[in-house]
Structure 1
Amino acid sequence: MGIGNIFKAFQPKDKVFFVLFEKVADNLVKMSQEFHDGMLDFDLNDDSLLKKMSDYEHKLDDLTHEIFVQLGENFITPFDREDINMLASGLDDIADYIYASSKYIFLYKTPDVKEFSEFSLLIHKSCVEIQNAIKHLNGFTNTAEVKESCIKINSFENIADDVLSQGLVRLFETGDAINIIKTKHVLEYLEIVTDKAEDVANTIENIIIKYA
């Protein structure tokens, strides 16, 4: 191997990892937008939304796997391997829980409740801010923008807590035990999505503290 190739082999693989992370974030935005659109135009007799969520979940699994493959093949990384692992896993968790939420909505044949679309909007907004944070994380050139997105994601999670509380109060007032059990499960899964987004924001903030 020539000296040029040796040098190239040990150059940081920022481009590889950031390209993959940006692809994941782009797909999360698309997935969450489709999910929100589906909650706004809710139809239990049309399971096309569930199929779309399954396709996105598989696509994001493949991207996450590729990040881990690159992690195993590259000696030098743009930031700690542990942080790359945590960020990739956190992003994958968001996709997993969006899909799980849609799955339970259709498996339980859960009736339409207004909190579904309120959650889906908060989820989409969180994914948009994750996309923005990851875009500006590349090269650590605009940490203020990254921090601002993380703050917004944390605020969305706080709002989601209130949506869950209000939704549960309204749900229990119906007195329909079977519907309460089913809908409560879905609402809690939707709230977990915002928790996972907050986890990603916290991971990104920790990366900024270490490297910016």
Structure 2
Amino acid sequence: MGIGNIFKAFQPKDKVFFVLFEKVAATLTQMSKEFHEGLMDFDINDDTMLKNMSDYEHKLDDLTHEIFVQLGENFITPFDREDISHLASGLDDIADYMYASAKYIYLYKTPLDPAYTEFSLLIYKSCVEIQTAMNNLKDFKNPKGVKESCIKINSYENIADDVLSQAIVKLFETNDAINVIKIKSVLEYLEIVTDKAEDVANTMDSIVIKYA
């Protein structure tokens, strides 16, 4: 390897990583928006929303894979390698659990619980804030903006906890054992999505504390 190529290998790849993370965040926002809209106008006989969720999940898998490829190929990164790994995995988890939620809603074929759309709206709002935070995280240009988005995401997760508790109480009042099992499972998947969003927020907050 020539001396020029050696120096090139050690050059920071800030743009590569930030561009990929911004793509992931934007795709998650699109995915969560379609998920929410799909539940607002839900038709169990039309699986278009489920197919779209699957497509988004595969697209995000590819982007996550590319982040890890770049992590393996580059010696110098814009922030700690472990933080990049945690951030990439956390974002991928949001997509995975969102897709799982959609899948089980279709598989179980139960009446939609009103809490589903409450969750999907919280998930969408969380993803919007993740995208905003990711844009502000680039080059550490707006640490305060990142923190503000992280606080909002944490508040959405707290609301989601309350939504889950109230929905389960109402669910048990129906005395329909089969539907209780099915709907409770979906509700828990939806709540996990907000947990994963909070994990991402905590990772971004940690990065800002370390490097901004």
**Length-normalised TM-score, structure 1:** 0.97
Indicate the SS of the match to 1:57. helix
Partner deviation per Cα, 1:134-167 (whole Å, 9 max, x = no partner): 1110111110000000000000000000100110
How far apart in 2 are the matches of 1:7 and 1:118?
52
* Alignment partner, residue 55 of structure 1: 55
Shift of 1:6: 4.2
Counting matched residue pairs gives: 212
Question: One-letter code of the match for 1:54?
Answer: S
1:196 counterpart residue number? 196
Q: Which residue of 2 aligns with 1:30?
A: 30
Aligned equivalent of 1:79 = 79
Deviation at 1:113, TM superposition (A): 1.4
Measured after TM superposition, the shift of residue 122 of structure 1 is 0.1
Matches within 5 A, 1:1-212: 5-212=5-212
Unpaired runs of at least 5, structure 2 = none
Looking at structure 2, the residues matched to 9 and 73 of structure 1 have their Cα atoms a distance apart, in angstroms, of 8
In the TM superposition, residue 7 of structure 1 has moved relative to its aligned partner by: 3.5
Match of 2:78, as an amino acid? P
Counting aligned pairs with the same residue, the percent is: 78
Tell me how far 1:43 sits from its aligned partner. 1.0
What is the CA–CA distance in structure 1 between the aligned matches of 2:64 and 2:8, rounded to whole Å? 25
Task: Return the alpha-carbon distance in structure 2 between the equivalents of residues 166 and 14 of structure 1.
Answer: 44
Q: What TM-score results when the alignment is normalised by the length of structure 2?
A: 0.97
The alpha carbon displacement at 1:9 in A equals: 2.9
Structure 1 residue 194: deviation in Å?
A: 0.0
- Cα distance between partner residues in 2 of 1:9 and 1:176: 62
- Measured on the aligned residues, the alpha-carbon RMSD in Å equals 1.1
Consecutive unaligned residues of structure 1, counting only runs of 5 or more, are none
Aligned to 2:157, the other structure's residue is in SS state: helix
1:181-204: per-residue Cα shift (whole Å, max 9, x none)? 000000000000000000000000
Q: Deviation string for 1:91-137 (max 9, x for gaps)?
A: 00000000000000001112111101000000000000000111110
